Amino acid sequence: MTENSKQAAAADKDRVLIFDTTLRDGEQCPGATMTFEEKMEVADFLDAMGVDIIEAGFPIASDGDFEAVSAVAERVKNATVAGLARAGDKDIDRAGAAVGKAVKPRIHTFISTSPVHMKYKLKKEPDEVLELISRSVTRARNLVDDVEWSAEDATRTEPEFLCRCVEAAIKAGAGTINIPDTVGYTVPEEYFALFTMLREQVPNADKAVFSAHCHDDLGLAVANSLAGVRAGVRQIECTINGIGERAGNAALEEIVMAIATRGDALPYATGVDSTLLSRASRLVSVVTNFPVQYNKAIVGRNAFAHESGIHQDGMLKHNQTYEIMTPESVGVSKTSLVMGKHSGRAAFRTKLTDLGYDLGDNQFEDAFTRFKALADRKKHVYDEDIEALVDEEIAHMHDRTKVVALTVIAGSVGPQTATLTLDVEGEHQTVQSTGNGPVDATFNAIKKLLPHNGTLELYQVHAVTQGTDAQAEVSVRLEDDAGRVVTGRGADTDTMVASARAYVAAVNKLMVKREKTTRVQAAV
């Protein structure tokens, strides 16, 4: 073996595959619906960023999911494209059909193995579950070469039974064995011991790649996943911004940067280009309308901000005093070219490129027009202003309904009145409404033009930058009577306009979500 090939072999051995499930588990997060076009945009970005596997959806769940998985399978160039399936024949065939056109297709099939799930959810005996594992993996292997099998609720499964299930899945041809902590219950030491036990005791364990899939109910998803890696796991399932069921999944950006930053304690590598993490986070936040908490590790707005005098002093002397990784390594640029009303197209385009945006001509023109309007109203236009503006442009690009004009009469003597014009699928419609305050009046006007049964669950405003001329970024969350939750976001220097945009965005999302046929919930 030459020195180079030895190095390559060592690098191979320590490579941890990144399985991104933003489009599947992430999209299951309450309020995080994505349209078809948004899913394509996220898939393209993940592929360019270097994730190894993209789980594009759950094809049996709805026609929309099937179409989205098929389209992702057709367009993705590098990554493996996975479709999720329960253990039933129809699920597996549908997943096989959806991923069929991928360069590297994978069927990911799962069944619950814990006593509580088998008894109450599946209403099946352990032997029946074992039988279904062999049958489902075999069926999937007849459709594609690459099959992943997951033991749902694995961390609450009897260890001896889990061994038998994993053995059956490997015997039937599963190349990847995923051991999910479905309810976010495990702790690092326990998860480490579970993988160690499986790898030691299951016959032919070395024929499969073991995978971690951790939920964050106790805030341990990343720590648990990394404990799995130390025990021999070589695939981590995660999502951008950690979105997912309930408290979410392990955050991809945290996994990638923990491995990149702590090579001494974690001697592994991923194929992800970390300089794209910041943009990936913004993209997913924008298309899901799901805000990223300010102090979120790696991608939160404060992740590289130093507020206290002692920290600022240290940073000025040497950045390693308080920074364990550079902002540039995750794609946060330090450029602070302030833009204003005299900035022209070229400067705006350069700024967009610096911020990591690549807009098509029409989108660029729309964004430039909005930038000019903003610069007329606001003395300094900061990077955050431009990001808020462009993100909104991208997020609302495919909306069927848009805010055209809004006039609100507010003040201490009510009732407050809103006159609103919406573009509803190309037709301008105007309405007037009153309410208990300007926000109520505005939302009542929207409801008159877009009747729906969603209840307002959250209305949140924050300033994008400092100063009284700052843009307001508004988040609105609606829940309908079927329990569907959606979030909309809008930004403008006028808080009422931002509120109207956010509310209309949420109603647009509700319509998209309703159009999807009801997800199949029943157990196999």
Distance of closest approach, residue 376 Cβ to ligand KIV, in angstroms? 48
Q: Is residue 20 a contact point for Zn ion (CB under 5 A)?
A: no
- CB nearer to Zn ion: give 58 or 268: 58
Q: Is 472 left (phi over 0), alpha (psi -120 to 50) or beta?
A: beta
Distance of closest approach, residue 81 Cβ to Zn ion, in angstroms? 18
* Contact set for ligand KIV, span 216-255 (CB under 6 A): none
Size of the site for ligand KIV (CB under 6 A): 9
Distance of closest approach, residue 25 Cβ to ligand KIV, in angstroms? 5
- CB nearer to ligand KIV: give 215 or 396: 215
Q: Which pair of structure tokens corresponds to residue 500? A: 């109207």
Q: Is residue 180 a contact point for ligand KIV (CB under 6 A)?
A: yes
Compute the distance between CA of residue 495 and CA of residue 377 in angstroms, rounded to an integer: 14
Compute the distance between CA of residue 478 and CA of residue 507 in angstroms, rounded to an integer: 8
- CB nearer to ligand KIV: give 41 or 152: 152
Compute the distance between CA of residue 328 and CA of residue 357 in angstroms, rounded to an integer: 16
Pick one of ligand KIV, Zn ion, none as the site partner of residue 225 (Cβ within 5 to 8 A by kind). Answer: none
Amino acid symbol at 273: D
- CB nearer to ligand KIV: give 33 or 150: 150
Distance of closest approach, residue 58 Cβ to ligand KIV, in angstroms? 9
- CB nearer to ligand KIV: give 109 or 495: 109
What 3-state DSSP class applies to 56? strand
Residue from 109, 113, 150, 401 binding ligand KIV (CB under 6 A)? 150
Compute the distance between CA of residue 115 and CA of residue 118 in angstroms, rounded to an integer: 5
* Contact set for ligand KIV, span 16-35 (CB under 6 A): 25
- CB nearer to ligand KIV: give 148 or 385: 148
Compute the distance between CA of residue 100 and CA of residue 217 in angstroms, rounded to an integer: 34
Compute the distance between CA of residue 361 and CA of residue 378 in angstroms, rounded to an integer: 25
Q: Is residue 399 a contact point for Zn ion (CB under 5 A)?
A: no
Considering only the stretches 163-171, 178-186, 377-385, 514-522, report the one whose residues sit in contact with ligand KIV under the rule CB under 6 A: 178-186
- CB nearer to Zn ion: give 25 or 479: 25
SS3 sequence of 375-431: HHHCCCECHHHHHHHHHHHHHCCCCCEEEEEEEEECCCCCCEEEEEEEEECCEEEEE
Rounded to a whole number of angstroms, the CA Rg of the chain reads 25
SS3 sequence of 220-281: CHHHHHHHHHHCCCCEEEEEHHHCCCCCCECEHHHHHHHHHHCCCCCCCECCCCHHHHHHHH
Considering only the stretches 20-28, 50-58, 427-435, 448-456, report the one whose residues sit in contact with Zn ion under the rule CB under 5 A: 20-28
Q: Biggest alpha carbon distance in the chain? A: 85
Pick one of Zn ion, ligand KIV, none as the site partner of residue 228 (Cβ within 5 to 8 A by kind). Answer: none
Compute the distance between CA of residue 183 and CA of residue 368 in angstroms, rounded to an integer: 46
Residue from 65, 96, 104, 110 binding ligand KIV (CB under 6 A)? 110
Query: Do the Cβ atoms of 280 and 253 come closer than 8 Å?
Result: yes
Q: Is residue 182 a contact point for ligand KIV (CB under 6 A)?
A: yes
Query: Do the Cβ atoms of 355 and 333 come closer than 8 Å?
Result: yes
Size of the site for Zn ion (CB under 5 A): 1
Q: Is residue 25 a contact point for Zn ion (CB under 5 A)?
A: yes
Residue from 152, 216, 254, 399 binding ligand KIV (CB under 6 A)? 152
Q: Is residue 148 a contact point for Zn ion (CB under 5 A)?
A: no
Pick one of ligand KIV, Zn ion, none as the site partner of residue 150 (Cβ within 5 to 8 A by kind). Answer: ligand KIV
Q: Which pair of structure tokens corresponds to residue 219? A: 């805030």
What 3-state DSSP class applies to 30? coil
Pick one of ligand KIV, Zn ion, none as the site partner of residue 471 (Cβ within 5 to 8 A by kind). Answer: none
Binding residues for Zn ion, per CB under 5 A?
25
Note the residues at the interface with ligand KIV (CB under 6 A).
25, 110, 150, 152, 178, 180, 182, 213, 215
